């Protein structure tokens, strides 16, 4: 059986997901071209339905803004997966990362450039600490990390509400968030005069991408983490500290998601939130990691795709298409990636038929 690269499977899954969404739009009486127009508008800033308006920089900036947290949560899921773990606790790690960054922003006065950096580091530390328990229980008691992570997501949700209401200065006008962060703690907007909230947090994402690649691909430490995930007993026989590696891999994954929570709090909201539900960035990270095959460049482009689908939701609604279509595309892509073995079988049959035709012609 011919082997196909993960890149080929992911690209094919994206195409099939778009085709499925187009078919659904046709069935419901909508024009599929409107969907592609909305995606193109969010990607480039040109609205094909109103070409006289010209180029609007706000749309691509909003697209990039939506990419930032999902790339980070994709790195989190990808790092855990490459080391034999499945981090489904991104929602909880995101929340505690946001909480830690908010606390530092409000209580520790620092100079403008240093302040957001310290807040991000606090978010990373909080996310790592929150992921410590699932890693510890997996390493020492072989308890499935998925179960622990799911429970800890809800613990983080209500723990955050209690801490914000009890210890942080709450905005008395809304009673649903903290007071505004000082200007020194927030990321400086990079919107070029538009209403977009795109900010300098993208530099943090670039650093995290480089760290992911360097640790996993270029260090003996990353090799030992991957070896532990691939074959724990073999790694232990080789003299590696498998229990410590399991804990550290989960903590590093949690740190990436904690950073995502921090940059959203500092760059988008500029205040601490009382979460009433999950933002789904942690779950979106699973999609990003699967689309990108848990590789650095794959996660980058997977995050850009999911960010595009999230950014296009508003544009879809303006064209009379439900924003849930974007979620349908994402779900379809995941389904096709999940059944990639079946896709490989179909591709092999197509190649086999082409080969038989060539032989017959010869």
Per-residue pLDDT reduced to its tens digit, 217-253: 999 999 999 999 888 888 888 888 999 999 999 999 9
> Where is pLDDT greater, at 347 or 112?
112
Q: How many residues does the chain have?
A: 362
Q: 4: pLDDT confidence band, cut at 50, 70 and 90?
A: low
pLDDT of residue 29: 83
Residue 50 lies in a domain: no
- Quick one: which of 298, 273, 261 has its CA closest to 7? 298
- Per the structure, the complete domain to which residue 256 belongs is given by 67-300
Q: HSE on the CB side for 110, CA within 13 Å?
A: 17
Q: 51: pLDDT confidence band, cut at 50, 70 and 90?
A: confident
Q: 41-45, 71-75, 304-308, 316-320: lowest mean pLDDT where? A: 316-320
Q: 10-24, 263-277, 319-333: lowest mean pLDDT where? A: 319-333
Residue 105 lies in a domain: yes
Q: 342: pLDDT confidence band, cut at 50, 70 and 90?
A: low
Mean pLDDT, range 183-200, rounded to an integer? 90
Q: 300: pLDDT confidence band, cut at 50, 70 and 90?
A: very high
pLDDT of residue 2: 52
Residue 191 lies in a domain: yes
Q: Which residues pair with 189 in a beta bridge?
A: 199
> Where is pLDDT greater, at 256 or 345?
256
Q: Which token pair is 221?
A: 């430490």
- Count of other CB atoms within 10 angstroms of residue 296: 17
Numbers of helices and strands, H then E, in the chain? 14, 2
Report d(CA 76, CA 257) in Å as an integer. Answer: 6
- Please say whether the beta carbons of 73 and 278 come within 8 A: no
- DSSP string of 9-72? HHHHHHHHHHHHHHHHHHHTT--HHHHHHHHHHHHHSB-TT-GGG-B-THHHHHHHHHHHHHHH
- Quick one: which of 66, 60, 61 has its CA closest to 281? 66
Residue 219 lies in a domain: yes
- Quick one: which of 85, 359, 324 has its CA closest to 225? 85
Residue 99 has pLDDT above 60, yes or no: yes
- DSSP string of 225-276? HHHHHH-HHHHHHTT--HHHHHHHHHHHHHHHHHHHHHHHIIIIISEEE--S
pLDDT of residue 339: 73
Q: 328: pLDDT confidence band, cut at 50, 70 and 90?
A: confident
Q: pLDDT digit string (tens) for 194-215?
A: 889 999 999 999 999 999 999 9
User: Global pTM?
Assistant: 0.91
- How many independent structural domains does the chain possess? 1
Residue 114 φ/ψ, nearest 5 degrees? -75, -35
On average, the pLDDT of the chain sits at: 88
Residue 69 has pLDDT above 50, yes or no: yes
Helix (H, G, I), strand (E, B) or coil at 179: strand
Residue 1 has pLDDT above 60, yes or no: no
Residue 102 lies in a domain: yes
Helix (H, G, I), strand (E, B) or coil at 199: strand
In order of 7, 14, 142, 287, 361, the CA distances from 11 in angstroms are 6, 5, 36, 14, 31
**By percentage, how much of the chain surpasses pLDDT 70?**
93
Residue 200 lies in a domain: yes
Mean pLDDT, range 162-167, rounded to an integer? 94
Please tell me the chain's helix, strand, coil percentages from 3-state DSSP, rounded to the nearest 5.
75, 5, 25
**By percentage, how much of the chain surpasses pLDDT 90?**
57
Residue tagged 């690269």 (tokens) = 5
Q: 123: pLDDT confidence band, cut at 50, 70 and 90?
A: very high
Mean pLDDT, range 175-179, rounded to an integer? 91
Mean pLDDT, range 44-59, rounded to an integer? 80
Q: pLDDT digit string (tens) for 135-161?
A: 999 999 989 999 999 999 999 999 999
Residue 172 has pLDDT above 60, yes or no: yes
pLDDT of residue 356: 64
Residue 243 lies in a domain: yes
Residue 313 has pLDDT above 70, yes or no: yes
pLDDT of residue 24: 84
- Count of other CB atoms within 10 angstroms of residue 144: 12
Report d(CA 261, CA 258) in Å as an integer. Answer: 5
CA 118 to chain centre: 22
Residue 38 lies in a domain: no
Residue 272 φ/ψ, nearest 5 degrees? -80, 140
């Amino acid at each position: 059986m011919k082997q196909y690269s993960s890149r080929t499977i992911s690209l094919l899954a994206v195409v099939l997901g778009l085709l499925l969404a187009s078919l659904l739009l046709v069935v419901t009486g909508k024009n599929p071209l409107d969907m592609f127009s909305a995606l193109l508008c969010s990607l480039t800033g040109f609205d094909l339905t109103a070409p006289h308006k010209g180029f609007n920089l706000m749309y691509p900036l909003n697209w990039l803004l939506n990419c930032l947290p999902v790339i980070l949560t994709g790195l989190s899921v990808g790092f855990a997966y490459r080391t034999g773990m499945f981090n489904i606790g991104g929602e909880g790690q995101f929340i505690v990362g946001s909480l830690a960054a908010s606390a530092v922003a409000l209580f520790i006065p620092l100079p403008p450039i240093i302040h957001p950096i310290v807040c991000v580091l606090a978010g990373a530390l909080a996310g790592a600490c929150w992921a410590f328990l699932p890693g510890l229980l997996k390493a020492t008691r072989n308890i499935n990390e998925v179960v622990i992570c799911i429970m800890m997501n809800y613990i983080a949700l209500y723990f955050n509400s209690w801490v914000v209401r009890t210890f942080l200065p709450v905005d008395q006008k809304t009673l649903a968030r903290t007071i505004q962060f000082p200007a020194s703690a927030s990321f400086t907007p990079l919107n070029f005069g538009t209403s977009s909230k795109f900010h300098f947090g993208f530099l943090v994402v670039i650093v995290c991408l480089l760290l992911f690649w360097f640790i996993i691909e270029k260090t003996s430490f990353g090799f030992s983490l991957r070896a532990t995930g691939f074959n724990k007993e073999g790694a232990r026989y080789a003299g590696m500290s498998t229990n410590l590696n399991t804990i550290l891999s989960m903590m590093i994954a949690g740190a990436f998601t904690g950073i995502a929570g921090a940059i959203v709090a500092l760059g988008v909201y500029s205040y601490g939130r009382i979460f009433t539900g999950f933002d789904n960035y942690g779950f979106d990270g699973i999609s990003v990691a699967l689309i990108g095959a848990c590789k650095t460049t794959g996660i980058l482009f997977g995050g850009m795709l999911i960010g595009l689908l999230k950014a296009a939701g508003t544009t879809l609604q303006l064209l009379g298409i439900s924003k849930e279509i974007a979620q349908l595309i994402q779900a379809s892509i995941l389904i096709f990636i999940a059944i990639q073995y079946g896709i490989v079988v179909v591709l092999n049959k197509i190649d086999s038929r082409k080969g038989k035709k060539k032989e017959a012609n010869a």
